[in-house]
Each structure stands twice: as structure tokens, then as C-alpha cells.
Structure 1
Amino acid sequence: MSVVVEQYNPAWPEHFQAIKSELEGFLKDANVVSIEHVGSTSVPGLAAKPIIDVDIITARENVQEVVDALVSNGNFAYFGELGIVDRHALRDPNQSPPRNIYVCVEGAFQVRNHLGVRNTLREHPELRDEYGAVKLALAANRTNIVDYIEAKGEVIQKVLKAAGLLTDEELAAIRVANEKGERRGALKTERLTLREFIIADVPAYHALESIPEVVRYQTWGPKTNDQAAKDVVTIIQNSTVKPREHFELAVDCEEKFVGRVGAKIKMKDEEGKAVEPPHVDLWFSFLPEVHGKGLATEAMKAFVPTLGSPLRLEIECDPRNTGSCKMAERLGFTKISLTERVYECKGEWVDSLVYQKSV
């Protein structure tokens, strides 16, 4: 999913004012310091992703009160900090126009970061234009969001230094936060793009995991939208943990979400001793409409080498799931064991067929 950047739209401030009015209604009984239009759409003349970013600023002791008001009065979904301390993300069910809503702690450096960037870019047209040119060039190259954030890190540092609101330690923290770290940039194959999940993937993830055929051999039934949202949030949160042990990537074909691939790396046993080599459980899930086209195999062949080595890879299948069994064989895995009646699932006792491969 490539980043979309548009030339400045003078309607963006009007969109913010409408969103702010809605928020004020939901928060009429909550203690809020201010509701701020931040991000690139808040800077006149600046090219931006067409998404309105809103910071609801409140005292630390009132964060939960504000979050609860949005959830109760506006049916917002709460996603937590998502790896950024003192910035709590929520999803407004009204996404027309698209928006990002954050509840932020007053005085926290993330707030000073947002306000400093906004105000400095408003006051310095030369920095605004430099930043806009970087963003447009990245979008023209069909850059994904992880690479996009990292690639504009240098110009952001330049803007923040001009703002003069952050300490050297805080500037360094922002630099690190903007780096990919263990998050993956776009991994492209002949037909596919493998990328990190984002909150906007919730509807597509739900569309996949709510299909009875897709979850036929899983321990869960078709997922609700709330369950899908919680899963995507967990995936995003896991991507920020260091060292990273949980990898799950969205798979796009022609800019459309078609499935997901994942891995859980076990580095220590129950007693805390190192597992040598680390053990990796692998999984994959794709829309029925793309079955039989080799997309899942293409995705897994690209994904597995990114996990490193040495590793002991494992795919556990329900033997009735012949598609997964054939996939393991196509990937060069060896059948290790078949155990009967391992667990009960959806009223049936299920056998376990295990494939392994060392890399």
C-alpha cells in the first residue's frame, strides 16, 4: 500500500473544524486543554496525505476520562499508545473525511513535537516547501508508510531544530522512533507487496478473517469487526517490541489486500534458557478468490528468508487442510510427525501434522 500525497487542499481546515465540533460534543463533560489540528494538513500550502490529524490535549490524570468519553459517547475504538508513549490512538467510526485521532498528554514531548513542526512550517515557507518536495518525491516512487516515515526523518529533524522546543535527547528519541528498526519496509515480489500492518487494514483484515472457509481449520470462528480491530492493534504493537519475536505482514496484490503471512519466534524455553536454534512457527491466510494462483507460495518464499538464520521453521497443519500441507511441501519442508486427536476444535477432535525445515 503506497503512500498517497496530495497538493494542499484549502478545504482541510474546514474539515478539521467540523471534526473538532463533533469531538467537542462527545467531550462536553471531559477535561480537555485543547483540540489541535496537527500534521501536514494543518499547514497552508503544504502537500500532505489527505488525512486530518487531530491531537486532543489533556492533563495526564485526565487521559482515561477523555478516552472513555470518546468510546462511550462517540463509539470510538481505542487502540492504546501503539509504541509512542503519551499518545493514545483512537479510531473515529466516521471516516469521511479520513482522520487520525489522538489523545495526548499536555506538555509531553510528542505534543511539543507536533505543535513545533506545525508552527515552524507555518512560519517558514522555505522549510515547508522543502518538506513538501520530499513527501511528493517519496509518494511518486510509490513508497510504503514504513519507508516513508524513515525517509523524511532528516527534514523533520531540521524542522524540529528550527522550532527549538525539544532537548537533544528528545530529538534523538524522535529520530529513533522514525527509523524502521525491526519493522519491515515494503518487500516486493513479481506480483506482490509484503508490508507492515496499519490501522487502516482493519476492514480488509476483517473481510478475510470473517470468511468461514478461511477459518475452517482454526480454533476460532469467523471474527467480528471488533475482534479484527484488536488483532490488528496487537500486530502493530508486536512490531514495536525489541527484540521482535512476532512478525506478521499484510500481502497486497495490485494495491489490494489479499492475505497475510506470519511468524512467531521462540528464543527461550519455559525456564528462560536459550533455544538453539530459535524455533519459528509459521502461518498464512489468503482470500479464497486468490487460491490456486500461487500467491501464498510466492509470499512465503519471500517472507521466510527475512527472518534470518539459523532457525528451525515449523508449519503445523490440520491434515484435512490439504492446501496448507501442499504449501509446506512446496516450500521444502519435511513431514516430521502426525499425531491423532491432539485437541478439540469446533466440536471435532483434530489431528496434528507437523512439517519442519532448518535454515
Structure 2
Amino acid sequence: MSVVVEMYNPRWPEYFQQIKSELEQLLINVDIRSIEHIGSTSVSELAARPIIDVDVVVTRDNVQTAIDALVSNGHFTCLGELGVEDRYALCDPNQPPERNIYVCVEGAFQTRNHLGLRDVLRVNAELREEYGAVKLGLAARGLDIADYVEAKNNIIHKILRTAGFVSEDELAAIEAASRERDRRIALQTDRLTLREFVLEDVPAFHALESIPEVVRYQTWPPKTLEDARKDVVQIIQNSFVDPRAHIELAVMLEDRFIGRVGAFINPEDSQGKPICPPHTDLWFSFMPEMQGKGFAVEATKAFIPTLGSPMTLEIECDPRNTGSWKLAERLGFERVRLIERAFECKGEWVGSLVYQKKV
């Protein structure tokens, strides 16, 4: 989905005050240093994505206490640091207005980045106008959120240098972290874009995985919206694990989410002994109306080279799921095993059909 950037809305500070009051009630028994409106919506006259960014600033000793309070009192979901040290992202179920909530360590340079960026933009009209123009230009290009965030790096680093709230060593660390995030996977085929998942994908993920036809041959029932949210959160968290074992990408046709492809890399066997080459399980699911058009083959062919080599790839499916095993054959996988009654699923015994390919 393309990023939306709007001209400054004078109601954004009001929205922040509303969110701040809600957070104060949830954190009433927590020693917090401050609750800060950060991000572009905190800067008057600056174009921004219409999302209120909020830092809950606490001492390091109170980070977990603050997170626990938001989870237990407000039913927030903690996403973890997501590759940004000392900044813990939380998903607030109470929307709108749309918001991003972070629990941040007082004095940590990531916290100072947020505050320094905001403060310099509030007083430096030239930088504010330049930053706003960059954001509007990126949105006009129809970028999705991952590409949009990456494309802003240069101007953000320029603003931080102007702010002077962080040292050159810290700026170098920020740029190194940005390069690490830039290595996250983004692929383009003739018709499709494959990209990392973001929280905004939850409704589309739910729309896919709640269809009985899509999950007919899976061990789980149609997913609820809460199930989908938990799955997307887990996918996002796993994307920041190093080494990365679970890799899953959203498949986009123009701006529409049409499916997903994923893999789990197993470098060890069930006894913890190294496997050489590693064993990788592949999976995919697509909207029913998108099936039979070659999108799954196109997406999976682009996805496989990102997993590395040498490697043994495996696709396991219910023998009744002709779409899956035919796709495996079109991808050049070889049938290696068929077990007629492998396990019980949804009240019936089902088979296991396994295809493999070495890369």
C-alpha cells in the first residue's frame, strides 16, 4: 500500500494530548520521565503521515515495568526493539487516531534522536521545508512504507547532524543500523513486488488467512483478526533476528496485497546436530481470485535465491492440495515421499506429500 503524506493538520497536537491522557492512566503506577510527541506530526507546518508518534520515556530500570503496564492495562502488543536499540515498539489496539507508541530509555541516543529531530525542525524553517518536500515527493512516487522509510535516511541524517544532539560516533552507529535495515528484502518481478511485512498488513493478511478455502489443507482454522495480528507481529519480530531463520514476504500486485511466501531455515536436526546443507521449508498462500495466473510461481522463483545456497528446499503438502504440488513441480522440485495417513488434521487422517530441490 502506498504511503500517504498530508499537509500539516492543526488537530494533530490535540490528538497527541488525547493519547497522552490515555497513556497516563495506563501508566499511573509507573515512574515515567515524560510522554513526548515526536515525529513529523509534532512539528507545526510540516507535512506528515497522519500517524501520531509518541515516546514514553523511562529510566532503563523501568522499561519492562512500563511495557508490562501497557500490555496488562491497555492490551498493547509489544513488538520489541525491531532493530533499534533502547526503543521498544508497542501496538496500541485503541485506534483511531492512528498512533505509534514507543517505550524509550531516558538519555539513550535513540531517544535523543527523536527529540533532537523534532526540536531542530521546530526552529529551522529551511530544514523543515526541505524535509517536507522530500516526504511529499516520496509519497507522490507511490512508495510503500518500507521503501519510504529507507528513502528518508539521508535527509534524516542531515537533520540529526544539524541538531547536534548526538555525537559523530552515534551518528555512525545510526547509519550502520540504517544499512542493516536496508538489507531487508525487497524484490521486483515483471508483475509483482515482494517486500517485508509491516503492521499495516494485518487487515490484508487477515482477509487472506480467514478464507476457509485458503486454509482448507492447513492444520489451523480460518484466522481471526487477533490471530492475524499476532502472526504479522511475529513475522516482523523474526525479520530482525540474526541469523534470520524465518523469512516471510508480502506479495503485492501494484498496491494490493495478494499473498505471501515464506521459508524456515533449519541449520540443525531434531537432535541439535548441524545439517549440511541446511534444510529449508517453503510455503505460500494467495487470494483465491489470484490463483491460476502464475503469480505464485513468479513470486516463489524470485524468493528462493534470497535464501542462500547450498540448501535443501522442501515443500510439504496434503496430496489433495493439487495446486500446491503442481506448483512444486513447475518450480522444478522432485517428489521424494508420500505417506498416505501421516497425521490427523481437523478430525480426519490426511496424507503428506513431500517435494524437494537442492540449490
3-state SS in 2 of match to 1:155: helix
**2: CA distance between counterparts of 1:69 and 1:314?**
43
* 1:181 to partner: Cα distance: 4.4
**1: CA distance between counterparts of 2:170 and 2:341?**
55
Within 5 A, what are the aligned runs for 1:82-161? 82-161=82-161
**1: CA distance between counterparts of 2:355 and 2:97?**
47
- The C-alpha deviation readout for 1:286-335, integer Å capped at 9, x for no partner, is 22233333322232232223334443322111101111111112222221
Letter in 1 for 2:136: L
Q: What is the match of residue 183 of structure 1?
A: 184
Within 5 A, what are the aligned runs for 1:171-210? 171-179=171-179, 180-185=181-186, 187-210=187-210
Q: What is the match of residue 350 of structure 1?
A: 350
* 1:222 to partner: Cα distance: 2.5
* 1:36 to partner: Cα distance: 0.6
- The C-alpha deviation readout for 1:24-48, integer Å capped at 9, x for no partner, is 2333333221111101111122222
Letter in 2 for 1:100: N
3-state SS in 1 of match to 2:37: strand
Alignment partner of 1:168 is 2:168: yes
3-state SS in 2 of match to 1:349: strand
3-state SS in 2 of match to 1:252: strand
Contact 1:146/1:183 (8 A) holds in 2: no
Q: What is the match of residue 66 of structure 2?
A: 66
Contact 1:83/1:237 (8 A) holds in 2: no
**1: CA distance between counterparts of 2:280 and 2:109?**
38
Instruction: Report the CA distance shift for 1:312/1:30 in structure 2 as closer, same or farther (over 3 A).
Output: same
* 1:249 to partner: Cα distance: 0.5
Alignment partner of 1:332 is 2:332: yes
- The C-alpha deviation readout for 1:134-181, integer Å capped at 9, x for no partner, is 222222222233332222222222211222222333212211222234
**2: CA distance between counterparts of 1:226 and 1:108?**
33
Within 5 A, what are the aligned runs for 1:13-92? 13-92=13-92
3-state SS in 2 of match to 1:10: coil
Letter in 1 for 2:222: P
Structure 2 unmatched ranges of 5 or more: none
Contact 2:63/2:103 (8 A) holds in 1: yes
**2: CA distance between counterparts of 1:137 and 1:94?**
31
Q: What is the match of residue 250 of structure 2?
A: 250
Larger deviation: 117-126 or 60-69?
60-69
Paired residues in the alignment total 358
3-state SS in 2 of match to 1:217: coil
Larger deviation: 33-42 or 120-129?
120-129
**2: CA distance between counterparts of 1:158 and 1:273?**
48
Contact 1:204/1:257 (8 A) holds in 2: yes
Contact 1:153/1:178 (8 A) holds in 2: yes
Letter in 2 for 1:82: L
**1: CA distance between counterparts of 2:109 and 2:103?**
14
**1: CA distance between counterparts of 2:315 and 2:89?**
34
Instruction: Report the CA distance shift for 1:241/1:73 in structure 2 as closer, same or farther (over 3 A).
Output: closer
Structure 1 unmatched ranges of 5 or more: none
* 1:60 to partner: Cα distance: 2.2
Larger deviation: 109-118 or 245-254?
245-254
3-state SS in 1 of match to 2:94: coil
Cα RMSD after superposing both structures: 2.2
What is the TM-score when the length of structure 2 is the normalising length? 0.91
Letter in 2 for 1:183: R
Larger deviation: 21-30 or 114-123?
21-30
* 1:273 to partner: Cα distance: 5.9
Q: What is the match of residue 213 of structure 1?
A: 213
Letter in 1 for 2:118: R
* 1:274 to partner: Cα distance: 5.1
**1: CA distance between counterparts of 2:80 and 2:184?**
19
Instruction: Report the CA distance shift for 1:310/1:72 in structure 2 as closer, same or farther (over 3 A).
Output: closer
**2: CA distance between counterparts of 1:226 and 1:74?**
15
